[in-house]
Structure 1
Amino acid sequence: MGIFDKVRKTIGKVSELKETLSDPEKLKSASADLAKKGLESSVNKLSERSDFIKRLQESPSKSINPPQRLSQPEYPEWQISISFRESKSNNFDTALFLAKNSNSYLETVSDGKIIYQAFFDADSYSDFEILYKLIKDWKSTFVLLNGEVIDKKAMSKLNICLGDKVRYKDPSFCFGASEYTTNPFGCHRLMITPSQRPWWEYGFFNNRKEWVIDKQKLKEQILNKSSFYGKCPYFNLENSLAVVDLLPDKLTERNDRNYFIFDNGRIYPKEFTYSKIDGYYLK
């Protein structure tokens, strides 16, 4: 569902929700109604959000620089937020409109000025990108990923990777957008791909002329690259490391000549359908 569809769906409900959250009696009544309908999860989220707003009102920020967890409820799911103040930019009204129609929206006061903050889940990342590109150069703009402030350089990496994933809507995208980025680890940003360094190149010949897969080096590469890309909601570090253990311990010319050529102290694929290699050794 696009952002403008969400706007049409939520018109008329925003003011009612704000009024309910600010009034304990109405919140109690709303919770009771929801419980009767069996929507227990919705009640919990509504209560958590109300408690969070109350804590913010009791302890307002004193500085333009937000604390590391200024407006981030401790929810178990992945979440990214963007905050900003009033601007003279011609884009301010548009930015505020987009923010108010995000998954969640909050206003807090700091130094007598309103801080506008919009929250997005992974499925709404495209909506976040629209707002981010509109206000990323404003001095008052801050982005928090799961409660941690994230800088522009890191945002650029995330937009390239996660943005493409959301736009392509292909469940196998992270396993490779082409033969040259195909990989069995669930993230081509780990750079263990045919266009960079595939898993079979992590190895060495032993004294029996067997090619030993260096699984320790593979795991080190995964851990190193996942220090940032591990923030992606679609990345699973545990699964990636488990795949390393499923790879063969060694390759030999006798047993693996259908897929690899052994020559001059190295090995390389016999053909360029790399996904077939992954499929064979991880079947």
Structure 2
Amino acid sequence: MPNAIEPYNEHDDRVVFLSKFFENWQISLEFAESKSDHFKKVLRIAESTPTFNRIIDICSGSSDNNDASRAFKLIFKAAEFLEFIKLYDIVKNWKSTVIRICGEIVDRKTIGKLRRCYTDKVKMINFPTYCYGVSPFTFNPFGCHRTKIHNMRYNAWYHYIIEKDGKILIDKKRILQEIIKNLQDYRLCPVLNPNEIFSNFLKLPCEIKHNDPQWIISRGDDGMLIIESREEVELRRILI
């Protein structure tokens, strides 16, 4: 636990935080003509997509040369991610396939991580607050359990504190740094909302008094503080 808390500046830290993410999410799928048995099927599906675009003829640089290899590009928005996956599963092993998220080339490992997280969210259609956690192990105050900073128990936000002069000081600068670090592998997630995450971060108090009625403060068996808002306790009682 640090002996001092580094001050944070809401405006400057917001700029730094949001610069790590993308505002208008989109994913593009590019591929060239292939000898694969699935090429005609892929082309048929692609041509029915509104954002389908024949880029160029790779060999000639002209779209008029029928003997040249053709390249194609499709763009999908966040809400169309599963449509992207249908085509991606067919062309992901083609040598010509290139995937870009917001213009940034990504590999299959990255797509795999985003896919698992996103499809889990889709499966939880009756749980609209999925990103805020679905169990005591993933409940979080920010809107993405990939921040790995939770409401309780394991790496809870109230582990980033200093007790001083009867007050509990929250090390918000350190919390923000942890959020940025932990979200690096998921910063390209189609449903990640950095503005919402930062707004929720701002809601964390800078300090808490032991007698504040808004909070339930206790100590665990290890002597560490456990801090929960009364509103949060009631919400968890309903969800569990």
TM-score, length-normalised on structure 1?
0.61
Q: Which amino acid aligns with 1:97?
A: R
Match of 1:67 in 2: none
Unpaired stretches in structure 2, ≥5 consecutive residues: 1-22, 60-67
**1:92-149 Cα shifts (integer Å, max 9, x gaps):** 2332223223341011221231112222111111111111122212211110112221
Mapping for residues 24-173 of structure 1, pairs under 5 Å: 77-108=24-55, 109-111=57-59, 112-169=68-125, 170-173=127-130
Hey, what's the Cα distance between the residues in 2 that align with 1:195 and 1:262?
11
> Which structure features the higher share of strand residues?
2
Hey, what's the Cα distance between the residues in 2 that align with 1:219 and 1:161?
22
Q: Which amino acid aligns with 1:241?
A: F
Match of 1:175 in 2: 132
Hey, what's the Cα distance between the residues in 2 that align with 1:160 and 1:195?
25
Are positions 1:203 and 2:151 aligned together? Answer: no
Are positions 1:261 and 2:218 aligned together? Answer: yes
Are positions 1:276 and 2:224 aligned together? Answer: no
In the alignment, which of 219, 228, 234 is matched to residue 176 of structure 2? Answer: 219
Are positions 1:240 and 2:197 aligned together? Answer: yes
Hey, what's the Cα distance between the residues in 2 that align with 1:252 and 1:261?
13
Q: In structure 2, do the counterparts of structure 1 residues 180 and 215 end up closer, same or farther at CA, with 3 Å as the change threshold?
A: same
Identity of aligned residues (%): 29
Hey, what's the Cα distance between the residues in 1 that align with 2:153 and 2:53?
44
Match of 1:4 in 2: none
- How far is the alpha carbon of 1:265 from its aligned partner? 4.8
- How far is the alpha carbon of 1:162 from its aligned partner? 2.6
Q: Which amino acid aligns with 1:85?
A: A
Hey, what's the Cα distance between the residues in 1 that align with 2:137 and 2:32?
44
Q: Which amino acid aligns with 2:86?
A: I
Q: In structure 2, do the counterparts of structure 1 residues 93 and 167 end up closer, same or farther at CA, with 3 Å as the change threshold?
A: farther
**1:176-200 Cα shifts (integer Å, max 9, x gaps):** 2333212221111111124742212
Q: In structure 2, do the counterparts of structure 1 residues 203 and 174 end up closer, same or farther at CA, with 3 Å as the change threshold?
A: same
Q: In structure 2, do the counterparts of structure 1 residues 201 and 125 end up closer, same or farther at CA, with 3 Å as the change threshold?
A: same
Hey, what's the Cα distance between the residues in 2 that align with 1:185 and 1:234?
13
Q: Which amino acid aligns with 2:192?
A: F
8 Å CA contact 2:81, 2:190 repeated in 1: no
Q: In structure 2, do the counterparts of structure 1 residues 183 and 85 end up closer, same or farther at CA, with 3 Å as the change threshold?
A: same
Hey, what's the Cα distance between the residues in 2 that align with 1:234 and 1:265?
38
Hey, what's the Cα distance between the residues in 2 that align with 1:143 and 1:99?
15
Unpaired stretches in structure 1, ≥5 consecutive residues: 1-75
Hey, what's the Cα distance between the residues in 1 that align with 2:85 and 2:203?
37
Higher relative contact order structure (alpha carbons within 8 Å, sequence separation ≥ 6): 2
Aligned length: 202
C-alpha RMSD of the superposition? 3.1
> Which structure features the higher share of helix residues?
1
- How far is the alpha carbon of 1:236 from its aligned partner? 2.8
Query: Which of the pair has more CA radius of gyration?
Result: 1
